[in-house]
Amino acid sequence: MTDLAAARKAMLGRATIGDQLRRHAQHTPNKEAIIYYGPDGSRSVISYEQLNAQVNRVANALAGLGVGKSDVVAVMSRNSVDYMTIWFATLKLGAALTGLNFTFTETEISYQVNHARPRILMAEDVFCGRITAAREAGSLGCVEHFVYSSAGETEPPEGWLAFSGLVAAGDAAEPAADVHEDDVAMLVYTSGTTAFPKGVLISHRNYLISTTPAWTLGLDLGPQVVWLFVMPFFTIAGLGSMTNIINCGATIVLAHTIDPAAAIRIIATEKVTYMAQTPTFFLAMTAEPEFRGADLTALQRCITYGGTVPSHMITAWQEASPGITWGT
């Protein structure tokens, strides 16, 4: 049996996060996976079939750069389709992803990168300057290739690879990689409030037999859900929640940047059914002039965290959408 045939045979009996995306692409190819509002406010829609094909292209391009099982890929970016794509591409190769907080200083960047030792580091163009400064200070020597994700805000540094080039160069076929459910998927760093953060290893299996089923049962999460997503992917809450939503075949509404007024418009336009944010953000939305007249009745579940929930906030939202269920 050839290596490719063996890999294809293994796909039938394994359960990984990348396989779940592949199955959605096969069974519900035209289902909306991502509705994305870009830096300029433009709207684009990506189906599960399109997302899987783009993920495969990037995975095969990364494999061509030497990324494979047990390697690490690092990303420093705001939420974007590129971030989601390289996340799933990394997983399909048996590698792990670590997200860098985009507010990090050069010292903090150097610490996490030198500790995680990624072979590839992708940064949104606006953050490339900090990465370059850390390199010029003699750090980040473990990184073999630097990739920029363009938001159209700044010119990329010389010598960096374009993420769009990886998409264009890669093959859309499923990558032939030996990936197992016990392989590490995420290398997440703790908050580091009293010292430098500590790395935490999380496997594919953790999500597929524990976290995602818990979300399915506890939140009634499934293909019918349209989730306005605002949590940053560099956190475990952000990356983990996004993974659960895609695992369940739901639709993510993603905005490059978002404020309370924009959130109201997106909820009304996209008929968003689920949203998670802080009480401060939900309260700020109720103060927007558009709040009273907007049709927010599609919203069924609001999840909040990180602060006290004032009663007048709940009252305002119940008037806007009486069917909302709140949770923390």
- Selected from 3.90.190.20, 3.40.630.30, 3.40.50.980, 3.20.20.10, the CATH number assigned to the domain covering 259-327 reads 3.40.50.980
In this structure, the number of other CB atoms found within 10 A of the CB of residue 240 comes to: 21
Q: Start-end ranges of CATH 3.40.50.980 in the chain? A: 259-327
42, 152 Cβ separation under 8 angstroms: no
> What pLDDT, in 10s, does the model give residues 290-299?
999 999 999 9
Q: Start-end ranges of CATH 3.40.50.12780 in the chain? A: 3-254
Whether the pLDDT of residue 9 is over 90: the answer is no
Beta-carbon contacts of 186 under 8 Å, excluding residues fewer than 6 positions away, are 96, 97, 98, 200, 201, 202, 236, 239, 240
pLDDT value of residue 155: 80
Beta-carbon contacts of 271 under 8 Å, excluding residues fewer than 6 positions away, are 226, 298
- 27 — pLDDT class (breaks 50, 70, 90): very high
Domain 3-254 has CATH 3.40.30.10: no
Whether the pLDDT of residue 191 is over 80: the answer is no
pLDDT value of residue 10: 61
Whether the pLDDT of residue 179 is over 80: the answer is yes
Best CA proximity match to 88, nearest among 63, 137, 54: 54
> What pLDDT, in 10s, does the model give residues 131-173?
999 999 999 999 999 999 997 777 888 899 999 999 999 999 9
pTM: 0.93
> What pLDDT, in 10s, does the model give residues 223-265?
999 999 999 999 999 999 999 999 999 999 999 989 999 999 9
pLDDT value of residue 4: 59
pLDDT value of residue 142: 97
Whether the pLDDT of residue 123 is over 90: the answer is yes
pLDDT value of residue 15: 85
